[in-house]
Amino acid sequence: MIAEALFFSGILFAIGVIGVLTRRNAIIVFMCVELMLNAVNLSFVAFSRMHGVAGQTFVVFVMTVAAAEAAVGLAIIIAVFRHRQTVNLDRLDLLKG
């Protein structure tokens, strides 16, 4: 089953990447990033099945960090929305060189 789990993990990750590249709504892009993190969690769990419990510990960490990141990221998106009235990534180009 490990191979199949990894197989799914890879596909989910790729789907996440496609989502990041395709979508312009910042929140949706953020959710795609969460999807990628989930795919990675699946890999970790699969390997933990083989090699011991450290993989699950790491999944705990990943989830924690994902939660923190989601909080801060969404706060940023809110703040940005207040200024630019949009969450369209194409319109958020103040860093344009």
Partner 1 sequence: MILQEAAAAGIHPLAGTPADWIWLVLALPLAGAVINGVLALVTEWHPGPFDPDPIHTGEHAIVPAPTLVERAERSTPRLMTVIEGRRRHGRPGPGDHGDHHEHGDEAGSHAPPARHPFLPLVSVVGPGVVIGAFGVAVMAFLAMLRADPEAPFILRYWNWMTAGSLRIEYALQLDQLSMLMTLVVTGVGALIHVFSVGYMRDDGGYARYFAGLNLFVFFMLVLVLAANYPVMFIGWEGVGLCSYLLISFWFTEKANADAGKKAFIVNRIGDAGFLIAMFLIFWNFRSLDFGPVNQAIAALPAGSPMLTAAALFLFLGCVGKSAQIPLYVWLPDAMAGPTPVSALIHAATMVTAGVYLVARSGTLFAAAPAASLTVVVVGALTAVFAASIGLKQWDIKKVLAYSTVSQLGYMFVAVGTGAYVAGIFHLVTHAFFKALLFLGAGAVIHAMHQAYHATGRDDDAQDMRNMGGLRRYLPVTFSTMWAATLAIAGIIPFAGFFSKDEILGATFAQARGSFLSHASWLGIPGSVVLFGAYVLLVIGAFMTAVYMTRMMLYTFHGPNRTGEAERRHLREVPLVMLLPLLVLGVLSVVGGWLNIPPLLGTLGPVGVLDRWLHPVLGAPAAALAAGRVEASHGAELTLVGAAVLVAVAGIALAVVRLRPARLVPKAEAPPESPGIERTLAHAYYVDDAYDAGIVEPALFTSRNVLYRGLDSGIIDKVFVSGIGWILPLTLGRIGSSLQSGRVGNYAWVLVLGALFVLGAFTLR
Partner 2 sequence: MPLFYSFHFYLFGLIAVASAIAFVTRRSPVAAALWLVITMFALAALYVMLDAHFIGVIQVLVYAGAIMVVFLFVVMLLNLGQPTELADVRSRRGRLAAGAIGVALAAQLLTVLRGRIPVLPPDPVVPANAIAPVAENLFTDNLLAFEITSILLLVAIVGAVVLAKPGRAREDASVVAGGVPGESRRGREAGA
- Can you tell me whether residue 88 is helix, strand or coil? strand
Question: Is there binding between residue 53 and partner 1 (CB under 8 A)?
Answer: no
Binding partner at 30 among partner 2, partner 1, none, C-beta below 5 to 8 Å by kind: partner 2
- d(C-alpha 94, C-alpha 97), whole Å: 9
DSSP conformational letter for 8: H
Size of the site for partner 1 (CB under 8 A): 14
Residue 85 phi, psi (nearest 5)? 55, 25
Closest approach, Cβ 80 to partner 2, in A, equals 7
Minimum CB distance to partner 1, residue 9 (Å): 14
Q: Which two tokens stand for residue 4?
A: 């199949």
Q: State how far the Cα of 59 lies from the Cα of 57, in Å rounded to an integer.
A: 5
11, 24, 71, 84: which one binds partner 1 (CB under 8 A): 24
Residues at the site binding partner 1, with contacts judged by CB under 8 A: 17, 20-21, 24, 26, 29, 89-90, 92-97
